[in-house]
Amino acid sequence: MTEPIRRPCKACGRELVFATGPGGKAIPLSRVANVYVIAADGSAEAVMVGEEKWISHFVDCSDPARFSKGKRTPS
């Protein structure tokens, strides 16, 4: 198995992992920290601890429009 490509985002500098998505297109992914659920009484419970989870980096990048076709901002 080939190791995924790791490099920083050109817009925000966060470390990314590039996975292969449908059609063979590269998808930038960001690691997600623990996720918590807040109860009605204000207490918080961790629902994800110790597992590495990834989300699309377009969700948490500070400048995702820079990478959208037709919507790029000047660099």
- Residue 61 contacts residue 11 (beta carbons within 8 Å): yes
60: closest CA among 27, 21, 12, 17? 12
- Residue of higher predicted confidence among 25 and 3: 25
Alpha carbons 30 and 21: distance in angstroms, whole number: 15
Contacts of 30-35 with C-beta under 8 Å, sequence gap 24+, read 30/54, 30/55, 30/56, 30/57, 30/59, 30/60, 30/61
Please determine, for residue 9, whether its predicted confidence score (pLDDT) is greater than 50. Answer: yes
pLDDT digits (tens, 9 = 90+) for 10-68: 889 999 999 988 888 889 999 887 788 899 999 998 887 767 788 888 888 888 777 76
- 72: confidence class by pLDDT, cuts 50, 70, 90: very low
Structure tokens at 69: 């076709």
Please determine, for residue 71, whether its predicted confidence score (pLDDT) is greater than 70. Answer: no
